[in-house]
Each structure stands twice: as C-alpha cells, then as structure tokens.
C-alpha cells in the first residue's frame, strides 16, 4: 500500500497568511472624530484630534475617518495610507484663520516666483486616499487674509504665498475625491502633484474672495479622470501644470464640467516644465469668465502634444482662446531642477466650440483667438475645427495695423499681447501646419480689421469659413511672410479693398480655391 506524506509547512504558511489577512481586515476601523473628543463649534481647534484619528485608522489597516455634522476647526491634517476622510451631510472641516496653524508638506515656487505649498488637508507619498461625502471643506480665505495682514507687512504679491491651499495631494497613488464641496480657499483650492490613478468626480468648488483661488490644479499627474464637477473660482478653474521636469501630465480625461473663472476656465501652464500629453477634454460649459476660455501655454520647456478638446460652449467669456509657445524658462523646484530649453506645442485639436465673447474684454476691441510661438520656435500641427464665435466688433483701420509684442520671456497672458490685436477673428504668428476648418464669426458691429492674419507661417489651411458682412476694411485675410497657404470655401460678403492681402518677401505658394469674395 502506498503511503502519501503531506508537508505541513506550506499548509501552515497558507494558514498564517489567511489569518494575517483576516486580522488586517478585522483591525481596519471607522473612527468618528466626535468619539475622540473633537468639538464642532467652529472655534475649538481640533487639529491634533483629527490627525490622531487618521494615524490610528491607517495604522490599523485603513478605514474611514468620519467628520459628522458640525463645524470642526483645524490647521494642517495629513491623510495616510488607506484612509478615507468621509464628510457627512452638514459636516464642515473649517480652516483656521491663523497661518501659524499650517505646515508645508512639499515646498515649491509658483509661476510668479512666490514660495507656496502650505495646506489645510494634505496627503504625501500615500496610497489609496479618499475624500468623500456630502460635507464641506472651507478654508475661510478672506478671514485668514484679514488676520494675516495685521502682522505680515510684506506686499500682497509676496505674503499671499504663505496662505494655505485647501487640499494638497502630493506623490500619491490611488486618489479619489468625490461628492464634496470645497469652499473659500486661502490660495489654490485643490492641488494634485505627481499623483497616479486619480479620480475626481461630482465635486463642487466655490472659491473666491482672495487672490489665486484656482479650482483644480493637476500638476504632473498621470492616469487621471475628472467628471461632472462644478467650479466657480476666482482664478483658473481647471488648470494643468508641471512645476517639476520629472513627471508629465499624461493620460488624462475630463468630461461634463461647468466652469466659471476669474481668469482661465481650461488652462495648461503657465508652470510648464514636463510634458502635457494624451489629454482629452470634452463636454464643458464655460461661463462668466474674465480672461480666457481655453488657454494652452508652454513657456518653461514643456512639450505640449496630443491634446484633444471638443464640445465646448462658452457664454460671456472675454477671450475665447489663447495658444502660446514661449521661452520664459522658469524653474519652480529650488535645487531640484535646472532651466530647460524652449519646448514644443504640437498635435493639438480643438473642435466643436461655440462661444459668445464678452462685449468688454482685456483686448480693445475684442478678438477671438490668439496663436503665437516665438521666432525660431513654431506652434505646429494645430487644428481648429467647427468653431463659432460672436464678438462685439468695432475695430478700426489703425487697429488693423497694430504691432503685437513678441514678449518672448514674459508671463504668458492675453494682456501680454494687447491692448489691441490686428485681427478680429484669428491672429496667428510663428506657426506651421495650422488647419482652420468650418469657422464662423459673428459681429455685433462693423469691424474693419481682417478676420484672419498670419505672420511668419508655413502650410496654412483655411477651409469653409462664414464671415459677417463688413465694410471699409483693407482686406479680409492678411498673410505676412507665409510660405504655403490654401484658402477655399470662405464666404466673405461685404466690401473690402482686397480679399487676401499678401505681404513680406518670404510669402509664396498662396493658393485660393472657390470663395465668395467681398466687393471692392
């Protein structure tokens, strides 16, 4: 008879592993901060109690730290591995108004050269962190500023950096922020730096009252999904940055957003050292925005490429679009990065955009779209398709010959190129492979500036344009030092001295197909 002998060691090891897993699961816990003595009266400082609850929860294997109904005052608290901060309905995590109650988990310098990074709620080098619930995180930004300036005598441009961000998530993997209300930050509202696998959904942001109230800042993050958020911000609403050269903003999808901004609604840059690539943004409603609707800016060495933006509606937006490749070449991580060479802006598509520009804008008179590289560095492969924009009009013959500064190393902003742009519709400079298809402009009043100007361009395509009837202009289209252009399907009724005016000794290979030209 055969005798079978089983080794006990593998069985024992398996049993130990199972027991360990069960033990970890059993030890995971949910902690209501009230059970640890937190007081939700809006005046008692609960920082230590909340932090101890987070630490205990993480050390026991993870779980939820619950903020119940009430106003729980706090300074900086830091989320740890496997912890969910759950804010119940009518719960408020309330930021202290004393800047000394905050710490800086990851210092850096912003695009204006200011040292920043303090925060109310942070997570650093953690995995599986979540912020959820129907409650609110409120930074009391205006009250904090009012108290700060009683003792901080520096200029406002310097002292604002000491104010805390509302939420800062730094180098984390597995981040979820869902359902919560983020309100009245003292600086940026939410900043995600070099994180992977991030999901931000159904978040409502109401943050204005002090300077630099960005809504969502995605800074060198990868595998990010953002959906159904409602942002009303004093500064940029949805902003992509790369304040470090070591990690790109990559593989990002954004859908179904409502955006109201004191500056830019959808923005890439200004901080722009590592690439922005493989980013898709769609189905966004932008309204009451005091600067740009879509602003894609790379000025510190970043390669901005493979970006697709579609199905965007804008209402009461000052300047619908700005595309800028520049050579500011700033460095934001002191001692950790070095200055880079000028980057690239290539393979970008923006389509299905309908915009109503504000009647009064930072440009006078208003213009629709600005596109500019710098000498020797061209924006390449930019496609704008199915674009419809309404503008106030009012441009004069003098405006039509306005020179636009290069501003090679300056902060990239619409007003940097103002106060006047010589085209009412699209002005482009230092571009290659620019494709503009199915473009429609409307004007409330006559504008004698050209609808389109290109300076220093190659391989320019204008196809199927519908332009308002204007009178008194020198030309409808002006090309200066353009090598290769194909203009077809342009409907330009009205009166102008010429339809296409070609200038510059480098201009050649300008082709016109079937167009409806204005009378002379």
The DSSP line for 459-487 is EEEEEEEE---EEEEEEEEEEEEEEEEEE
Residue pair 356/390 in contact (Cβ under 8 Å)? The answer is yes
And the tokens for 4?
Answer: 């079978």
- Tokens 């003595």 sit on residue: 37
pLDDT per position as a tens digit, 337-395 = 999 999 999 999 999 999 999 999 999 999 999 999 999 999 999 999 999 999 999 99
Using an 8 Å Cβ cutoff, are 485 and 512 in contact?
no
Residues 71 and 204 in one domain: yes
Same domain for 188 and 332, yes or no, is no
- Is residue 395, in this structure, part of any structural domain at all? yes
- Averaged pLDDT, groups of 10, the chain, 520 residues long: 42 46 54 98 98 98 98 98 98 98 95 94 98 98 98 94 98 98 98 98 98 97 98 98 98 98 97 98 98 97 98 98 98 94 98 98 98 98 98 98 98 96 98 98 98 98 98 98 98 96 98 95
Write down which residue in 164, 190, 213 finishes a domain: 213
- Residue 70, domain CATH: 2.160.20.10
Distance CA 132, CA 250 (A): 25
Residues 190 and 308 in one domain: no
If asked whether residues 207 and 300 sit together in one domain, one would say: no
Assigned domain for 286 exists: yes
| 206, 284: one domain | no
Q: What pLDDT does 28 receive? A: 67
Cis previous bond, 419, omega within 30 = yes
The last residue of one of the domains, among 213, 232, 267, is 213
Are 185 and 297 part of one and the same domain? Answer: no
Query: What spatial distance separates the first Cα and last Cα of the chain, rounded to whole Å?
Result: 111
Residue 190 shares a structural domain with residue 296: no
Residue 253 lies in a domain: no
Q: Report residue 79 CA to chain centroid gap.
A: 24
Question: In Å, how far are 15, 17, 28, 82, 256 from 23, measured between CA atoms?
Answer: 12, 10, 9, 16, 42
Mind listing the pLDDT tens digit for each residue in 39-49?
Answer: 999 999 999 99
Could you tell me if 495 and 408 lie in one domain? yes
Domain assignment of residue 446, yes or no? yes
Please check whether residues 179 and 319 belong to one and the same domain. no
Instruction: Count up the domains in the chain and report the number.
Output: 2
Q: What's the pLDDT score for residue 29?
A: 85
Cα–Cα distances in angstroms (integers) from residue 320 to residues 312, 333, 369, 402, 484, in the given order: 11, 32, 6, 20, 27
Structural domain contains residue 461:
yes
Q: Are residues 155 and 293 in the same domain?
A: no
Distance of CA 281 to the CA centre of its chain: 11
Tokens of 334: 């002191």
Question: 213, 237, 266 — which closes off a domain?
Answer: 213
Domain that holds residue 172: 29-213
Domain contains 20:
no
248 inside domain = no
> Is position 254 within any domain?
no
């Amino acid at each position: 008879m055969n005798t079978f002998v089983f080794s006990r060691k593998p069985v024992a090891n398996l049993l130990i592993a199972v027991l360990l897993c069960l033990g970890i699961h059993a030890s995971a816990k949910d902690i209501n901060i009230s059970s640890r003595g937190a007081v939700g009266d809006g005046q008692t400082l609960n920082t230590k109690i909340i932090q101890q609850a987070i630490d205990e929860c993480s050390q026991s294997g993870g779980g939820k730290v619950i903020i119940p109904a009430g106003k729980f005052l706090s300074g900086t608290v830091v989320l740890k591995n496997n912890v969910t901060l759950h804010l119940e309905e009518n719960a408020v995590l309330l930021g202290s108004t004393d800047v000394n109650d905050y710490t800086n988990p990851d210092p850096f310098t912003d695009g204006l050269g200011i040292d920043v990074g303090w925060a109310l709620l942070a997570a650093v080098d953690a995995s599986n962190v979540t912020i959820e619930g129907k409650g609110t995180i409120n930074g009391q930004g205006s009250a904090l500023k009012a108290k700060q300036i009683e003792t901080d005598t520096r200029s406002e441009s310097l002292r604002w950096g000491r104010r805390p961000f509302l939420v800062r998530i730094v180098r984390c993997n597995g981040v979820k922020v869902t359902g919560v209300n983020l309100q009245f930050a003292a600086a940026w509202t939410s900043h995600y730096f070099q994180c992977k696998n991030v999901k931000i959904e159904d978040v409502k942001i109401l943050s204005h009252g002090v300077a630099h109230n960005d809504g969502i800042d995605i800074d060198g993050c990868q595998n990010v999904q953002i959906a159904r958020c409602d942002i009303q911000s004093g500064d940029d609403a949805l902003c992509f940055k790369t304040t470090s050269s070591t990690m790109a903003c990559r593989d990002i999808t954004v859908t179904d957003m409502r955006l109201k901004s004191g500056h830019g609604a959808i923005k890439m840059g200004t901080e722009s050292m590592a690439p922005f690539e493989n980013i898709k943004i769609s189905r966004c409603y932008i309204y009451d925005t005091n600067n740009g609707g879509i602003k894609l800016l790379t000025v510190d060495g970043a390669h901005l490429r493979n970006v697709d933006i579609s199905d965007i509606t804008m209402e009461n937006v000052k300047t619908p679009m700005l595309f800028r490749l520049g050579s500011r070449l700033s460095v934001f991580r002191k001692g950790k990065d070095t200055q880079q060479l000028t980057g690239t802006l290539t393979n970008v598509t923006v389509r299905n955009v309908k915009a109503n520009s504000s009647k009064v804008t930072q440009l006078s008179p208003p213009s629709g779209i600005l596109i500019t590289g710098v000498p020797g560095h061209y924006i390449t492969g930019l496609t704008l398709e199915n674009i419809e924009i309404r503008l106030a009009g009012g441009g004069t013959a003098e405006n039509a010959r306005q020179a636009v500064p290069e501003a090679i190393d300056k902060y990239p902003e619409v007003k940097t190129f103002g106060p006047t742009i010589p085209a009412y519709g699209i002005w482009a400079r230092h571009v290659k492979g620019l494709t503009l298809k199915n473009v429609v402009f409307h004007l409330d009043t006559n504008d004698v500036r050209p609808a389109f100007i290109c300076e220093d361009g190659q391989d320019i395509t204008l196809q199927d344009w519908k332009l308002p009837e204007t009178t008194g202009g020198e030309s409808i289209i002006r090309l200066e030092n353009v090598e290769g252009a194909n203009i077809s399907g342009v409907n330009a009724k009205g009166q102008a001295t010429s339809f296409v005016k070609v200038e510059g000794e480098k201009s050649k290979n300008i082709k016109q197909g079937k167009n409806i030209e204005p009378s002379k």
